Structure 1
């Protein structure tokens, strides 16, 4: 590591677990958001989706062990607006969407907690292309995640947004058998820019922090019974590149973190959906994170509404 980075090691050894909350705990994308019919984008028209949920967890280090005195307790509500058009691109339906999240969180670090409420990072996607066959549906898309969320440099307890731009290519697919079995997955790769306002602690000088890119996916496997469906859903995330501070990969010498501070988590839980005669879909699910490293591990409860205009 460079001399300038080494000179911050003592400060970071105390403060890096704090940054882990903002960087590895509160994700820009609410993992597990898409389950039933994830690859089956609806036909041309306008749609409103609402994702309401609760998350509670404790921070884990690079060995998966609890970091004492750290926890997060959060409520979130994401409003998503989809417009699918009659325009065809490569034979698929073209559309776009906008996602606006609002978050309330209480974060404890070293036994001291603070709560905050505010706007999260807004996502805009101008490219959704969807194809359909009798049993198979698939979609490609490109999300742009914008740093609109509330952010306080040096104190992640008061930060909701990531404070960096990111670009996210997406592929989603749904297989639905003639007798009602469904297998759906949404696969994403998050390419992140630098956070140039990072402070390891309040009052410390600003530094460039670059969170590592990650691959993550949502999934569901289950069975439809008329308007109802029941199954198992969840998510998996693994960080593919190192976190960097002023251009250098973070070292395990800075604390109980694996080299590069690469995060990983897996979650699974029950999911149920109901679709009424007007086409509105209601989804309820609970996700338990069974394994996690360099990020929070906990439980997430969801209620999702899909409503055509």
Structure 2
């Protein structure tokens, strides 16, 4: 829920309907895009209204099974480009010592999927994320946010399509973020998110519950730059179900890491960028992602 939070609907790998060999969430994906967070994830803005822009490029050419082996497909490609706008209202209201915040993320997605004998591309509005949070400033260096996000099934969805830019069900995401900041020293950030998916009424499918840990660590150079690394780890806690029946070997897992940087001019403008490579993947597509975010002055 910080002003630097990446859009929760941005990961294209969460939006694919693939083959039964890889489940781990319906279509091999999730409502939460692992790795969206970067530096300052727990550092919320002062009271006011903010607009942020986010960009994500995701590419994958591997699909992993329950053992982490490649699913033998002669053709498998996912290409996604996402631009999202996030609206944040940091209110002057305090509750339990925290600053009340409200936000909404509106993503536009261009998604293309190729598998043997089939190819499909969809472009448009994806699922919208919104929710409240409480921001705490424990010291000039230590900050945290407790929040609860809702993911609304706004994106276009059609049962049986190869690819969809909407999940067709609601998701609930309680979260906690924390950041330690030092302009000329060590910086560290972590965000813990639980993702609880509701049932897809068109398929009678319910994706299993998941936990994500987004992380970053770096060193401030004292001139506005922070250089380091970041990524995410995820585990699916419960199996997927179809028509109320638990599906064996349907839990997903993944880990990602890559270089990350931030620049802050000290006058209210910043930009962050991160490239991450996925590995140790189970029951999901495996790929690489580039994440960029910045604030829009107005």
Normalising by structure 2, what TM-score? 0.88
Aligned-partner Cα distance in 2 for 1:33–1:156: 25
- Residue equivalent to 1:123: 129
- Residue equivalent to 1:245: 242
- Residue equivalent to 2:206: 210
Aligned-partner Cα distance in 2 for 1:18–1:38: 31
How many Å apart are 1:231 and its aligned residue? 0.4
| Greater mean deviation of Cα atoms: 99-108 or 109-118 | 109-118
- Check whether the contact 1:212–1:241 (CA below 8 A) recurs between aligned residues: yes
- Check whether the contact 1:19–1:156 (CA below 8 A) recurs between aligned residues: no
- Is 1:43 the counterpart of 2:49? The answer is no
> Residue 201 of structure 2 aligns to a residue in which SS?
strand
Q: 1:20 to 1:213 in 2, by over 3 A?
A: closer
Equivalent of residue 286 in structure 1, options 251, 257, 275: 275
- Residue equivalent to 1:254: none
> Structure 1: which 5+ runs fail to align?
1-13, 199-207, 252-258
Aligned-partner Cα distance in 2 for 1:278–1:179: 17
Aligned-partner Cα distance in 1 for 2:92–2:252: 41
> Structure 2: which 5+ runs fail to align?
1-17
Q: 1:17 to 1:156 in 2, by over 3 A?
A: farther
Q: CA RMSD in A?
A: 1.8
- Is 1:137 the counterpart of 2:137? The answer is no
- Check whether the contact 1:45–1:308 (CA below 8 A) recurs between aligned residues: no
- Residue equivalent to 2:230: 233
Q: 1:18 to 1:269 in 2, by over 3 A?
A: closer
- Check whether the contact 1:281–1:307 (CA below 8 A) recurs between aligned residues: no
- Residue equivalent to 1:64: 68
Runs of 4+ in 1 over 6 A off after TM superposition: 18-21
- Residue equivalent to 1:83: 89
- Is 1:188 the counterpart of 2:185? The answer is no
How many Å apart are 1:302 and its aligned residue? 1.5
- Residue equivalent to 2:56: 53
How many Å apart are 1:150 and its aligned residue? 1.1
Normalising by structure 1, what TM-score? 0.85
> Residue 212 of structure 1 aligns to a residue in which SS?
coil
Bigger CA radius of gyration:
1
Q: 1:182 to 1:296 in 2, by over 3 A?
A: same
> Residue 195 of structure 1 aligns to a residue in which SS?
coil
Aligned-partner Cα distance in 1 for 2:295–2:112: 28
